[in-house]
Amino acid sequence: MDTVYQRCIFPSCGGTAAVDDTAFVCPRCGGLLDVVYDWNRLPTPKSLKHFESFWDQRGDPLSFSGVWRFRELLPFAPADKIVTIGEGQTLLQRADEVGRYVGLEPGRLFLQYEGLNPSGSFKDNGMTAAFTHAHMIGARRAACASTGNTSASLALFCAATGLMRAVIFIGSGKIAYGKLAQALDHGALTLQILGDFDDAMLRVQQVARKLGIYLVNSINPFRLEGQKAIMFRVLEALAWQVPDWIVVPGGNLGNVSAFGKAFRELTELGLIKKPPRLAVINAAGANTFYQLHERLGLRWNAGRPDVSIIDKYYQHLEADKVRASTVASAVEINRPVNLLKALRALEECGGAVRDVSDQEIVDAKAQVGAGGLGCEPASAASVAGTHKLRQEGIIASTDRVVCILTGHQLKDPQLTVAYHSADPKTFHDVLGSHGIGTAAFANRAVQVPNDLDAIIRAIDV
């Protein structure tokens, strides 16, 4: 057996694929695949402190990268094939003001700000890994379906390296302008499908298979290898202490799946004693995971989930023509491709799934902004969800909690301006149509005549 290969997530199936296989489905049962390492035959660190030795090697691009400085924990690529654009220089910020809003004691809430990545979202963590794999196997074109951030990241990696051509599928009218701007500016072939993300996701898989284009959506297990590094950096910033909770927005459920795998492997390698609990927060208008996990009791069940629950739920979506709808367009997804991996992660780490309304999301987003970091709406679901879990008493006020801010504020400026706007039409067009009625934390621009005294009065109120 090779030291690195791909393996079906179902223990009872046991299907495998070689490291260079790009079908990204189990050849036996069609299920999801993991990247698997034979750790006994690979050099592994004795403690997490080992990674501090890379801090003074910032001249080496692989040690500078916030993903590849942990390369011993995702050792699938030879060093000369690794493609990095300096991703992962992100920040874990203590956030007492936002902590007060959600009901945590000072020093207990931290925000992991993935908006600082080169393309402005966490996706670059995964893209550097998928892109590296694509480069390893000699791909010349790479494709994804996207609500905007995956496509922005892919477009940027293609433009920055010149190694591949980006082909991106987006739903019509479903993408925030900051993200569309990135795809266009970086030269991606941009296909707007008459449909939503779930439609685009199905199509891109068909097209990738037919045309032999490399697929970089998170169904690709190599993407998730890169996203494990978000957790490695959280631990690094906490001096290698494990927090009580990681709270993350849920869309296609790639992040939570990657985080679960990271903690499973760290535990196996003896690098941590116990994983944190994981909370996944859906937008209420795209809450498949919440419905299945919390309402319908779907569990991983040690690899034997009752998939008839999923089938029945999807039949209901189809029959009742339910489409995902939320102001957090990044997570406007009803059929998350990593559903089963996410269930496994929750079972292994313990945790919860909640959904939050669009009103809760935009208010939490304003609090994050006022607290000194800017995030896009989907990211703020993590803060809104923490608020909810505090109110329910599931998270304690003394728990140490890390919320993942997945994307930058400037991805979706239209929404932010509408929230703070004094103009009812602007507010209604962007937010009111999503059932948002108030902007409790609005910071309204002040209209002043072009007159010195009036301006001074407006400042010195």
Q: Kindly state whether residue 205 participates in binding ligand F0G, applying the rule CB under 6 A.
A: no
Per CB under 6 A, the list member of 262, 378, 389, 436 interacting with ligand F0G is: 378
Write the interaction track for ligand F0G spanning residues 207-226; mark x where CB under 6 A is met and - where it is not: -----------x--------
Q: Kindly state whether residue 288 participates in binding ligand F0G, applying the rule CB under 6 A.
A: no
On the 0-12 / 13-18 / 19+ scale of CB atoms within 10 A, 352 is buried
Per CB under 6 A, the list member of 6, 117, 119, 150 interacting with ligand F0G is: 150
Could you tell me whether strands 109-113 and 91-94 are parallel, antiparallel, or unpaired per DSSP bridges? antiparallel
Q: Kindly state whether residue 326 participates in binding ligand F0G, applying the rule CB under 6 A.
A: no
Per CB under 6 A, the list member of 330, 364, 389, 439 interacting with ligand F0G is: 330
Could you tell me whether strands 33-37 and 4-8 are parallel, antiparallel, or unpaired per DSSP bridges? antiparallel
Q: Kindly state whether residue 147 participates in binding ligand F0G, applying the rule CB under 6 A.
A: yes
CB 234 within 8 A of CB 70: no
For ligand F0G, the closer of residues 98 and 145 by Cβ is 145
In the bound complex, what is the minimum distance in angstroms from residue 313's beta carbon to ligand F0G? 18
Could you tell me whether strands 189-193 and 165-171 are parallel, antiparallel, or unpaired per DSSP bridges? parallel
For ligand F0G, the closer of residues 38 and 185 by Cβ is 185
For ligand F0G, the closer of residues 89 and 397 by Cβ is 89
Q: Kindly state whether residue 103 participates in binding ligand F0G, applying the rule CB under 6 A.
A: no
Write the interaction track for ligand F0G spanning residues 233-272; mark x where CB under 6 A is met and - where it is not: ----------------xxxxxxx-----------------
In the bound complex, what is the minimum distance in angstroms from residue 243's beta carbon to ligand F0G? 19
For ligand F0G, the closer of residues 360 and 376 by Cβ is 376
In the bound complex, what is the minimum distance in angstroms from residue 42's beta carbon to ligand F0G? 27
On the 0-12 / 13-18 / 19+ scale of CB atoms within 10 A, 147 is buried
Tell me the C-alpha distance between 421 and 419, whole Å: 6
Tell me the C-alpha distance between 276 and 259, whole Å: 10
In the bound complex, what is the minimum distance in angstroms from residue 8's beta carbon to ligand F0G? 21
CB 197 within 8 A of CB 324: yes
In the bound complex, what is the minimum distance in angstroms from residue 201's beta carbon to ligand F0G? 9
In the bound complex, what is the minimum distance in angstroms from residue 32's beta carbon to ligand F0G? 14
Q: Kindly state whether residue 369 participates in binding ligand F0G, applying the rule CB under 6 A.
A: no
The whole-angstrom distance between residue 368's C-alpha and the CA centroid of its chain comes to 17
Region of 187 please: left (phi>0), alpha (psi -120 to 50) or beta.
Answer: left
Strands in 16-18's sheet, in edge-to-edge order, are 16-18, 4-8, 33-37
In the bound complex, what is the minimum distance in angstroms from residue 251's beta carbon to ligand F0G? 3
For ligand F0G, the closer of residues 278 and 378 by Cβ is 378
Segment lying near ligand F0G (by CB under 6 A), choices 180-188, 302-310, 343-351, 373-381: 373-381
Encoded amino acid at 263, one letter: F
In the bound complex, what is the minimum distance in angstroms from residue 371's beta carbon to ligand F0G? 18
Tell me the C-alpha distance between 166 and 413, whole Å: 25
CB 434 within 8 A of CB 456: no
Largest interatomic CA distance in the chain: 80
Tell me the C-alpha distance between 345 and 340, whole Å: 9
CB 24 within 8 A of CB 215: yes
Q: Kindly state whether residue 125 participates in binding ligand F0G, applying the rule CB under 6 A.
A: no
Per CB under 6 A, the list member of 205, 379, 409, 421 interacting with ligand F0G is: 379
- Residues forming the site for ligand F0G (CB under 6 A): 121, 123, 146-150, 218, 249-255, 330-331, 376, 378-379, 406-407
